[in-house]
Structure 1
Amino acid sequence: MQERLVDRHPEVPADQLVAQMVPPPMFDEVSFASYIPAPEEPSQAAAVRKAEEFAGQVAKIHKAGSRKSLFGKKKAVSGAGLYLDGGFGVGKTHLLASIFHSAPAPKSFGTFGELTNLVGALGFVNAVERLSGNSLLCIDEFELDDPGDTTMVSRLLTELSAAGVSIAATSNTLPSQLGEGRFAAQDFLREIKKLGAIFEPVRVDGPDYRHRDLPPAPEPTSPEVLTERAATTPGSTLDDYDALLKHLSTLHPSKYGALIDGVSSVFISGVHPVTDQAVALRIVVLADRLYDAGVPVTVSGAKLDEIFSTEMLDGGYRKKYLRAISRLLALSRFEAAAA
Structure 2
Amino acid sequence: MDGSSTPTKTAEGPLPAYRARVASGALRTDPAQALAAETLQDLWRRLRGYDPNVEEAAKASGGGGFMARFFRRKPVDEAPGHAPQGLYMVGEVGRGKSMLMDLFFDCADVPRKRRIHFHQFMQDCHARIHAWRKANPGETDPIPPLAEAIAGEAALLCFDEFQVHDITDAMILGRLFEALFARGVVVVATSNTAPADLFKGKPGRDAFLPFIHLIQQKVAVLHLQSAQDYRRDRIHGLPTWHVPADGRAERALDSAFLELTGQRHGEPRTLALLGRSISVPQAVGGVARADFDALCGKPLGPADYLALSTHFHTLVLDGVPRLGPDNFDKARRFITLVDTLYEHRCKLVASAAAVPDQLYEQGENAAMFQRTASRLEEMQSQDYLRLPHLT
TM-score by length of 1: 0.61
User: Which residue does 1:205 correspond to in 2?
Assistant: 225
Amino acid at match of 1:59: R
Residues 65-113 of structure 1 show CA distances to partners (whole Å, capped at 9, x for unaligned) of: 5489xxxx99722432110111111111112112222232211111111
1:21-56 CA-to-partner distances (Å, cap 9, x unmatched) read xxxxx98957632454754x5322110011111122
Deviation at residue 119 of structure 1 after TM alignment: 0.6
Corresponding residue of 2:264: none
8 A Cα contact 2:282 2:290, kept in partner: no
Deviates more, 1:159-168 or 1:99-108: 99-108
Q: Aligned partner of 1:88: which letter?
A: V
Q: Structure 2 counterpart of 1:91, which letter?
A: G
Aligned partners of 2:341 and 2:251: how far apart in 1? Answer: 33
8 Å contact kept, 1:140–1:169? yes
- Cα distance in structure 1, aligned partners of 2:221 and 2:350: 28
Taking a change above 3 Å as real, the CA distance of residues 156 and 279 of structure 1, as seen in their structure-2 partners, is: same
Shift of the 271–196 alpha-carbon distance from structure 1 to 2, 3 Å rule, reads same
Q: Which amino acid in structure 2 is aligned with residue 90 of structure 1?
A: R
Q: Displacement, 1:280? A: 2.6
2:34 aligned to 30, 45, 54, which one? 45
**Distance in 2 (alpha carbons) for counterparts of 1:231 and 1:144:** 34
Tell me the amino acid that sits aligned with residue 107 of structure 2.
Answer: S
- Structure 1 runs not aligned, ≥5 long: 1-25, 237-246, 291-295, 314-321, 332-339
Question: In the alignment, does 2:128 pair up with 1:122?
Answer: yes
In structure 2, what is the Cα distance between the partners aligned to 1:93 and 1:155?
26
What is the alpha-carbon distance in structure 1 between the residues aligned to residue 86 and residue 35 of structure 2? 17
- Conserved? CA contact 2:156–2:186, under 8 Å: yes
Contact 2:157/2:187 (<8 A) preserved: yes
Rounded Cα–Cα distance in structure 1 between residues aligned with 2:215 and 2:305: 29
Structure 2 segments unaligned to the other structure (5+ residues)? 57-76, 130-141, 256-270, 322-333, 352-391
Deviation string, structure 1 residues 177-226 (Cα, Å, up to 9, x no partner): 1111343424432232222222100111223202228637735234xx11
Q: Which residue of 2 aligns with 1:177?
A: 197
Q: Which residue of 2 aligns with 1:111?
A: 117
State the distance in 1 between where 2:295 and 2:239 align.
14
Establish whether residue 278 from structure 1 lines up as the match of residue 304 from structure 2.
yes
The count of aligned residue pairs is 265
8 Å contact from structure 1 (residues 220, 298) kept in 2 = no
Pairwise CA distance, 1:271: 8.8
Which residue of structure 2 lines up, in the alignment, with residue 308 of structure 1?
A: 340
Work out which structure has the larger RCO, using CA pairs closer than 8 Å and 6 or more positions apart in sequence: 1
Output the amino acid matched with 1:128: A
TM superposition shift of 1:149 = 1.6
Q: Which of the numbers 34, 49, 55 marks the counterpart of 2:44?
A: 55
Determine what percentage of the aligned residue pairs are the same residue: 21
Q: 2:324 corresponds to which residue?
A: none
Distance 1:275 1:209, change over 3 A: farther
- Which structure has the larger Rg? 2
2:81 pairs with 77, 80, 90, which one? 77
CA, structure 1 residues 229+216, in 2 after alignment: closer, same or farther (shift >3 Å)? closer
Give the corresponding residue for 2:151. 132
Structure 1 contact 158–198 (Cα < 8 Å) conserved: no
The corresponding residue for 1:101 is 106
2:245 is the counterpart of 1:226: yes
Confirm or deny: 8 A CA contact 2:90 2:224 kept in the other structure: yes
Q: Deviations over 1:265-289 (max 9, x none)?
A: 86548999x982332313555778x
Query: Structure 1's 86 and 214: CA in aligned 2 closer, same or farther, altered over 3 A?
Result: same
Q: Find the counterpart in structure 2 of residue 87 from structure 1.
A: 92
Q: Residue 139 of structure 1: CA displacement? A: 0.9
Rounded Cα–Cα distance in structure 2 between residues aligned with 1:54 and 1:44: 15
Q: Match for 2:241: what amino acid?
A: P
1:165 aligns with 185
> 1:242-281 residue pairs with structure 2 within 5 A?
252=277, 256=280, 268=292, 276-281=302-307
Q: 1:5-20 to 2 correspondence within 5 Å?
A: none
In the alignment, is the contact (CA less than 8 A) between 2:159 and 2:189 conserved in 1? yes
- Quote the residue 2:387 is aligned against: none
1:191 maps onto 2:218 in alignment: no
Instruction: Answer yes or no: is the 8 Å Cα contact 1:268–1:298 preserved in 2.
Output: yes
